Amino acid sequence: MSSYADGGDVAETAAVVAGIARDLELVDHHCHQLVAGPLGGDRFERLLGEGAFAAPAGCSAADTGLGLAVRALCAPVLDLPVGAGIAEYVERRAELGTDEVHRRLMSGGASTYLVDTGYAPDELCSVDQMAGWTGGRVAEVARLETLAERVATHTFWDGGTGRTGEGGAVPNRAIAARMAGRAARTYAERLEEEMEKCRGVSGWKSVAAYRCGLGLDWSRPGPAQVREAAREWLSAEPDRQGRWRLENPVLIAHGVWAALDSGLPVQFHTGFGDNDVRLASADPTLLDPLIRATADGRSPIMLLHCWPYHRQAGYLAMVWPHVYMDVGLAIPHAGHRAAAILAEALELAPWHKVLYSSDAFGLAELYHLGVGLWREALASVLQPLSSAGFGNEELVRLGSLVGSGNALRVYGLD
């Protein structure tokens, strides 16, 4: 009887399976832009972690799965030995310069990048620069909460240069409340206009998990409910930077339903992220009511990252026709354990429902590791199939679905 655990010819087939995984085309269906300029050591270490705090004195924020992966897999690309210290690594980075570091680490990457441009755009490069550095096709995904926040900003600010009430002055509370009431009446139309300006994007993204958690009332809010929620939100004081952060669950649900109506895929942040996320409220199974209500052929629902809920996400991808998932972000962070996570996602998720993503942000190292560790992880998931007797053609077919085929099909990128 053949067996997945048949170790007889593993050594022989391992190189072939690794070669298959190495040669697959990849479409990165969720990532962000690269940083544009040079980086100091502190900033580099900060970008390596998802928590915004420094390591204890004498320790390094890079003593993590991700930091060790940088020292193991990125150091040689910059002509350093495996295990080079982070200080030495940062020094070498500075010596080579941003262009050369990006050129080296981004080569052999994905063929296409779907970029969520809604996070920290001032700190990051433009989409055109991104296309230049990656040498790949770059398409945009628009963040719904950012579009709603633009509506708020346009209500009170003139071109971002100053708050303008009646007569161009900074409005007092009474005037601001009147402006909020007026704007709330047309909030839905104004959000629609912002979405209309995004014509040509490949999909939408919601960060509900960061704002109010995924366990909100997902029924479609009616017009009166939206007006009242908008009035309440716009009447509140902005934060210290003069921004209105959208946390209102009615308006978040409203934006998501507007996106689902478009027919384009809608990405949801689920699972871990930086320490702004409430992890317990980021379980994708909290989207169950929305998934049930949209199983009639509306837009695909894309569950991003998912860890540590990737098994739950795999179940959802198995039982619902329009649910897809990835384990991006977890792959580079888990470093040497990446293969276990991809294998766990594929316990239940069909191969035609899992996508590749890096969720890389800022550092070229994250794109490089996203690709490299994912290829290694995929090889280790394919290996038992090879041992059991599946031919290379079938392994290429399965790997191609996850690497690029599912993304090309679902986003209509062909």
Determine, following the binding rule CB under 5 A, whether residue 326 of this chain makes contact with Zn ion.
Answer: no
Q: How far is the CB of 66 from Zn ion (least distance, A)?
A: 15
Burial-class residue 68 by CB neighbours within 10 Å (0-12, 13-18, 19+).
middle
Q: Tell whether residue 45 is a contact of Zn ion (CB under 5 A).
A: no
Select 94 or 198, whichever has its Cβ closest to Zn ion. 198
- Residue 149 vs 359, nearer CB to Zn ion: 359
CA distance 234 to 230: 6
Label residue 165 exposed, middle or buried (CB < 10 Å: 0-12, 13-18, 19+): middle
Find the residue with minimal CB distance to Zn ion: 359
**Token pair for 44:** 């580099």
Residues 354-383 that bind Zn ion (CB under 5 A): 359
In the complex, least distance from residue 410 CB atom to Zn ion, rounded to whole angstroms: 17
Q: φ and ψ at 206, to 5 degrees? A: -120, 135
Site string for Zn ion, 200-219 (x = CB under 5 A): --------------------
CA-CA distance, 114 to 137, in Å (whole number)?
A: 9
Q: Which helix (H) or strand (E) holds 283?
A: none
> Two tokens at 88?
């030495």
**Smallest separation, CB 163 to Zn ion (Å):** 31
Which one, 187 or 210, has the nearer CB to Zn ion? 210
Cβ proximity to Zn ion: between 21 and 306 the closer is 306
Q: How far is the CB of 277 from Zn ion (least distance, A)?
A: 11
Number of residues that bind Zn ion (CB under 5 A): 1
List b or e across 284-313, with b for residues whose CB sees 16 or more CB atoms inside 10 angstroms.
Answer: bebbbebbeebeeebbbbbbbbbbebbebb
**Which residue type occupies 313?**
A
- Give me the phi and psi of 360, to 5 degrees please: -65, 145
Q: State the minimum distance, in angstroms, from the CB of residue 359 to Zn ion.
A: 4
* Cα–Cα distance measured from residue 27 to residue 357, given in angstroms and rounded to the nearest whole number: 7
Binding mask 66-105 for Zn ion (x = CB under 5 A): ----------------------------------------
Q: Which is nearer to Zn ion, 67 or 271 (CB)?
A: 271
Q: Which stretch binds Zn ion (CB under 5 A): 9-17, 238-246, 278-286, 352-360?
A: 352-360
28 binds Zn ion (CB under 5 A): no
Residue 280 CB, shortest distance to Zn ion, in Å, is: 20
- Contact between 316 and 303 under an 8 Å Cβ cutoff? The reply is yes
- In angstroms, the CA 372 to CA 366 distance is 10
- Which spans of this chain sit near Zn ion (rule: CB under 5 A)? 359
